[in-house]
A = this chain, B = another copy of it.
Amino acid sequence: MEINGEMEQRPVIDGPTNPVVSSLLSDMYQFTMAYAYWKAGKHLERAVFDLFFRKNPFGGEYTVFGGLGECIHFIANFKITEDEISFLRSTLPSSCEDGFFDYLRGIDCSDVEVYAISEGSVVFPRIPLMRVEGPIAVVQLLETPFLNLINYASLVATNAARHRFVAGKSKTLLEFGLRRAQGPDGAISASKYSYIGGFDATSNVLAGKLFGIPLRGTHSHAFVSSFMSPDEITAKTLPHSNGSDSCDDFVSLVQTWLSKLQSVESFRGSFSETSQSELAAFTSYALAFPNNFLALVDTYDVIRSGLPNFCAVALALHDLGYKANGIRLDSGDLAYLSVEARKFFCAIEKEFQIPSFGRMAITASNDLNEETLDALNKQGHEVNAFGIGTHLVTCYAQAALGCVFKLVEINDQPRIKLSEDVTKVSIPCKKRCYRLYGREGYPLVDIMTGENEPPPKVAERILCRHPFNESKRAYVVPQQVEELLKCYWPGNSGKEREPLPTLEKIREKCINHLNQMRPDHMRRLNPTPYKVSVSAQLYDFIHLLWLSEAPVGELQ
């Protein structure tokens, strides 16, 4: 297929083919159903499925859509290999006929069409993120992989966006989750979709390599503990940053600065003896990275040891024309410690006339999440960058987004999935979806219509109805109308294919979309739900179909 060639040109968005993403990455029942459809001669019937979720995660009122590129990559490469067919044959009941395996051997997604909202968009419950059309047996085989690829991607992108919202636009956000993520690929997905959701960098080197995400990292507590004292440092020479000259004994220069610091009247008493192990580690790290000196200062005691040791090294670097990057705090009262660190840096700037020493970067990590960021904001802090791991990548606050994949039409017959729980009733029909914008440029409401209804028009009044609640309805006069579902996989339809954007473009779209939302939808406490509606015509049809399908009860 032509698209394969084209997609291989897009390593940034698609990454290398993930070989665990085989056509067997599916639930067993998709294959048993495929057999039953085939056996009934029903496998080629044209079906339409919607992929959507029912509730925004994390108690919020918005979701970021991620994973579309991977789904398109999946169908572009969808093919069941001989080896996989042998496995299926050994697993399915032996009564399954050979013709079925011949059928499986021949299928691909050339007859499937995928319409989707653009990746990185802000999305809402019940509006299809994707509409997938094609032969029912094939489309069902796509259900599980699509759900797998979208559920977590969207969840973690949303989580990242929420962390960005609390941290504020000026802060640097670092994804540090590799060690706590759910397996290697969970970690790589976490890095990718956290970046889309607004993070600035990751610690995950492989994700950096695969997707071009900026990398960040310096050293750990073990690095500090691995040193005993500055005596063990043998290579002590550091050239001046301008190359002009060299300092023969950087270790002594650091010691000199530490003594100077200890003799400053106003610092006296706050520290007298700092850890020699830590001082050696910092000095060594600076010798290795004189242009990128950032030290983890909490191995022993931030105030009494880490900060003065860091400053002694930073000042020694300054003598040689280098500029230290800053510190990282990984324990304790981050608000208090960051404020104390800032005061100390400013005092040094003043005492030794070192311009901008007071603006030294402070990074904080240690089990951060939305709540702790919010608490830090309330307490007041001096942190410039946050490293966030466990809570971000595992989506600790809510570990799953419940996307579902529902049949809405077969052979041009609309289908509805009923449930005693009205929130679980699916919205039937092949639909079109629009986002209507108001006078101030904010999105006002999303509306679903039947495939063949005329689209909403700018400046023309349209009735938007709640899909299930008769009394909830409103007229809207849109200032702008955006059709949400675009054709990302045309199959044999001859339609034009929407190109897959790069990761950077998706991230940009996401950040722009989030900024465009009316603030009351975005706030953490009691956000206003964004409205999702159906056209009057679709409303009437849903309720007609509902009545015709629902069993009539007997009160006894």
Contact = CB atoms under 8 A, between A and B. Distances in A.
Interface of A: 16, 18-22, 24-33, 35-37, 39-42, 45, 47, 49, 84, 87-88, 91, 93, 95, 136, 140, 143-145, 147-149, 151-153, 176, 178-190, 203-206, 208-209, 215-223, 225-226, 228, 232-235, 269, 273, 275, 284-285, 287-292, 299-301, 304-305, 331-332, 390, 394-396, 399-400, 402-403, 405-407, 410, 413, 415-421, 424, 549, 551, 553-554, 556
A20 B22 contact: no
Given A218-B29, A301-B551, A226 B287 contact: no
Identical chains bound together, number? 2
B33 A179 contact: no
Contacts of A209: 24, 84, 87
B394 A235 contact: no
A233 B40 contact: yes
B148 A33 contact: no
Contacts of A20: 18, 20, 184-185, 188, 206
A41 B234 contact: yes
Given A27-B204, A149-B184, 5 more contacts: A27-B176, A28-B205, A93-B292, A222-B405, A332-B420
A41 to B, nearest CB: 6
A269 B553 CA distance: 11
Given A29-B217, A40-B288, A290-B95, A148 B184 contact: yes
B178 A269 contact: no
Nearest to A416: B225
A186 B235 CA distance: 45
A29 B185 contact: no
Contact of A220 (B29, B40, B551): B29
Given A36-B284, A219-B33, A287-B39, A184 B18 contact: yes
Most B C-beta atoms less than 10 A away, residue of A27, A183, A285: A183
Given A226-B410, A415-B226, A186 B186 contact: yes
Contacts of A187: 25, 148
Given A225-B415, A415-B226, A32 B87 contact: no
A29 B219 contact: yes
A312 to B, nearest CB: 16
A231 B394 CA distance: 49
A216 B31 CA distance: 11
Contact of A186 (B22, B152, B403): B152
Contacts of A305: 551
A546 to B, nearest CB: 12
9 contacts: A28-B203, A41-B235, A95-B289, A140-B223, A148-B181, A182-B395, A185-B186, A225-B417, A390-B400
A183 B186 contact: yes
A275 B551 contact: yes
A26 B402 contact: no
Given A36-B223, A233-B40, A400-B396, A183 B185 contact: yes
A208 B91 contact: yes
Nearest to A185: B185
Contact of A182 (B49, B189, B217): B189
A407 B182 contact: no
A221 B143 CA distance: 13
Nearest to A289: B93
A140 B185 contact: no
Given A35-B288, A185-B186, A399-B395, A180 B151 contact: yes
Contacts of A553: 304
A126 to B, nearest CB: 17
A211 to B, nearest CB: 12
A181 B39 CA distance: 31
Given A225-B407, A331-B419, A269 B220 contact: no
A310 to B, nearest CB: 15
| A-B residue pairs, 7 tightest by C-beta | A28-B217, A185-B185, A29-B217, A394-B399, A147-B179, A182-B182, A36-B288
Contact of A269 (B93, B275, B554): B554
A144 B390 CA distance: 13
